[in-house]
């Protein structure tokens, strides 16, 4: 294995596993929790952990704009504010760039806006705050997953649960699902957000050091869609369980209130 933890073909050939023991197609363990925020100003919230990467998202809204001139008469506006905690990663973000989440804000907004049923909230504002507390690679897709579920928790209408996944091609012939920070350092990585229920791609982002052939790109997209579909199932299950539990408690309390 390379010193910095990057993907090593020889290592993989020898041990049949990546540096952290995963197979090529194996994503990191995903843990999702909805409704984690305690503040009464937050309407919906979600914490997502993918391996060591941890992201927290809070959704507020729909509410009035602060300035009337920002309103859109027939739809709502989605605003995203994203920050990286100062301790989120070691050495990568320093100085003034340290907490700059602008790329992440754009990614989350562009991924969620097509799924949001904006016409149902005319003249409204929906704000999402994303905090990355630990960045071990894949923070963008974790943030999109968390923000999407925060909207679901807030009761905001979406066309479907938005799922995001990342695939990387550190060397030309190999595709990894859900590369961590070290693995994604070399080669190319593709982030993709989709609506798994319809197989519709909402947003993609390709980063990397070398150009990609069209068929290599197509195969990356296919792998990413596949990975996102699996993530989408887990997200939808977590959301359904959360909602089912709230509903079950409410129903139980209805009976308990009238009981002797």
Partner 1 sequence: MICVPGDDVAPLQDGLMRGHGTYAHSNQLVSCGAGRIERVNKLASVRPVRGRYTGSVGDLVVGEIVEVAHRSWKVDVGSTRKATLAITSVTLPDDAQRVRTHEDTLAMRELFKEGDVVVCEVQAVNADGQLHLHMKSNRYGLLENGCVVRVNQHLVRRLKHHFVELPDINVELCVGHNGRVWVQRAIPSQWIEAEAQDGGGGAGEADALLSAEAWRRVRKRHSALPLEDNEREACCRARNAVAVLGSGGCVVDGDSILKIYRASLGDAPSKMLTRAVAQKLVADFLGERAPEPMDEGEDAMQL
CB of 87 to partner 1, least distance (A): 16
CB of 39 to partner 1, least distance (A): 12
Among the listed residues 157, 171, 208, 229, the single contact to partner 1 using CB under 8 A: 157
SS percent in the chain: helix, strand, coil, step 5: 35, 25, 40
Please give the DSSP secondary-structure letter assigned to residue 95: G
Query: Would you count residue 114 as binding partner 1 (CB under 8 A)?
Result: no
Site size for partner 1 (CB under 8 A): 54
Taking CB under 8 A as the binding criterion, the range among 91-99, 100-108, 146-154, 217-225 that sits at the site for partner 1 is: 146-154
Task: Evaluate whether 130 touches 55 at the Cβ level (below 8 Å).
Answer: yes
CB of 235 to partner 1, least distance (A): 9
Given the complex with partner 1, which of 62 and 179 has the nearer CB atom?
Answer: 62
Given the complex with partner 1, which of 38 and 210 has the nearer CB atom?
Answer: 38
- Tokens 């949001």: give the residue: 116
Give the contacts of 77 (CB within 8 A, at least 6 positions apart): 65, 70, 71, 124, 125, 126
> Which of 186, 230, 80 has its CA nearest to residue 143?
80
> Which of 260, 51, 57, 88 has its CA nearest to residue 154?
57
Strands 163-169 and 176-177: antiparallel
Query: Would you count residue 199 as binding partner 1 (CB under 8 A)?
Result: no
Site for partner 1 in 29-48 (CB under 8 A): 29-33, 35, 40, 43-44, 47
Binding site for partner 1 (CB under 8 A): 29-33, 35, 40, 43-44, 47, 49, 61-64, 117, 120-124, 152-161, 195-198, 236, 239-241, 243-250, 252-258
């Amino acid at each position: 294995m390379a010193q910095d933890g990057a993907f090593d073909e020889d290592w993989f050939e020898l041990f049949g596993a990546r540096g952290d023991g995963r197979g090529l197609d194996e994503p990191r363990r995903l843990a999702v929790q909805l409704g984690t925020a305690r503040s009464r100003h937050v309407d919906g919230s979600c914490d997502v952990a993918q391996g060591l990467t941890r992201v927290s998202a809070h959704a507020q809204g729909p509410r009035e704009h602060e300035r009337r001139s920002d309103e859109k008469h027939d739809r709502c506006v989605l605003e995203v504010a994203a920050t990286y905690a100062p301790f989120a990663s070691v050495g990568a973000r320093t100085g003034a760039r340290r907490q700059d989440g602008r790329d992440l804000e754009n990614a989350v907004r562009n991924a969620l806006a097509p799924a949001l049923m904006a016409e149902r909230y005319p003249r409204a504002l929906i704000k999402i705050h994303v905090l990355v507390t630990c960045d071990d690679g894949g923070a963008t897709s974790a943030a999109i997953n968390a923000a999407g579920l925060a909207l679901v928790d807030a009761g905001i209408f979406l066309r479907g649960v938005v799922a995001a996944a990342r695939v990387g091609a550190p060397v030309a012939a190999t595709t990894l699902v859900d590369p961590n920070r070290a693995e994604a350092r070399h080669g190319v990585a593709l982030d993709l957000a989709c609506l798994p229920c319809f197989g519709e791609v909402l947003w993609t982002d390709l980063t990397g050091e070398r150009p990609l052939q069209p068929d290599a790109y197509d195969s990356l997209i296919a792998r990413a869609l596949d990975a996102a579909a699996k993530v989408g199932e887990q997200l939808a299950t977590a959301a359904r369980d959360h909602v089912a539990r709230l509903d079950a408690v409410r129903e139980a309390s209805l009976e308990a209130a009238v009981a002797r």
